Copies of this chain bind each other. A is one copy, B any other.
Amino acid sequence: MTPQEIMEMLHAEIKAEKNLGAVASYIPELGKVNPDYFGIYLTSIDGQRLSAGDWDVPFSIQSIAKVLSLSFAFNLKGDAIWERVGVEPSGSPFNSLVQLEFESGIPRNPFINAGAIVICDILCSELENPKEELLSFIRRVANNPNINYNPIIAASEASEGYRNFALINFIRSFGNIHNEVEEVIDLYFHLSSVMMTCKELSETFLFLANAGIQVDTGERILGVSMTKRINAVMQTCGFYDEAGEFAFRVGLPGKSGVGGGIAAILPNDYAIAVWSPRLNTKGNSYRGMKFLEQFTTLTELSIF
């Protein structure tokens, strides 16, 4: 079977099975999505494109965008960012706040909310117009001027974001937030609201499989070594408390979001995006995890 046939077969098989898990509903906008959407898109460095299902429906990529804000900040400030955020997995969520306390306000990694907020603070310090410039960066990486924030989702996040307000104030009490709380959190809520289709998401992540170079434009987004490091952080921290499980079953660096999206890459080969809104108990797409496990097993492609 060709990879395209494998993809279609797995899509059909998984689609035929019961769709378990729950759609994230902590903000109303996320809860409104059709839970049975299921799209996949793979873009390879050498120009192959595979797809299945609802790959052209835009969805809220949520935390997947944290990889992009991290890439931007890493590019702007270099290794200095690692004085303000770590690269270790965070363990089970029950202790996230106490861990922050123990580690004096230095978040464990840039993909937990606390860490992404600190990255947004770094961007606020570096940029004149953080929201606009971050969006420009994302469009450049995606080679796509149509990528946008979703203002309804950003506002929805803000209206329910007491926990994130708690986090940012807590981090600030340790001196690890340098800008106004409102400005930083506004950037954070916008970051979380970025919309993409599976196709756009896989195209956006392709530079991470391509040693930091945007494939279409040839533009260097990140240095080789920085790109490897972002991939390493995705590997160990990209899936909440299921990063080990994802490495174990799928074997690719990647990042998931509560909107049900997952982006993953095989270095020097391809980027793949999967989207299905129902989440397993760890907060990762139920069908997305299933598909990626079987796809890497059948295609025998993993980094291990």
Contacts and interface: CB of A to CB of B under 8 A. Distances in A.
Given A87-B244, A247-B235, A253 B103 contact: no
A163 B170 CA distance: 5
Nearest to A247: B232
Interface in A134-178: 162-163, 165-170, 172-173
A169 B173 contact: no
Interface stretch (A9-17, A43-51, A92-100, A254-262): A92-100
A39 interface: no
A97 B165 CA distance: 14
A236 interface: yes
A2 interface: no
A91 interface: yes
Given A92-B103, A102-B92, A243-B88, A162 B166 contact: no
Interface stretch (A58-66, A125-133, A199-207, A223-231): A223-231
Contacts of A227: 304
Interface of A: 86-92, 94-95, 97-99, 101-103, 108-109, 162-163, 165-170, 172-173, 181, 225, 227-229, 231-233, 235-237, 241-245, 247-249, 251, 253, 267, 297, 302-304
Given A87-B248, A88-B89, A165-B165, 10 more contacts: A87-B247, A88-B245, A92-B99, A94-B98, A94-B102, A165-B181, A166-B166, A166-B173, A228-B302, A229-B304
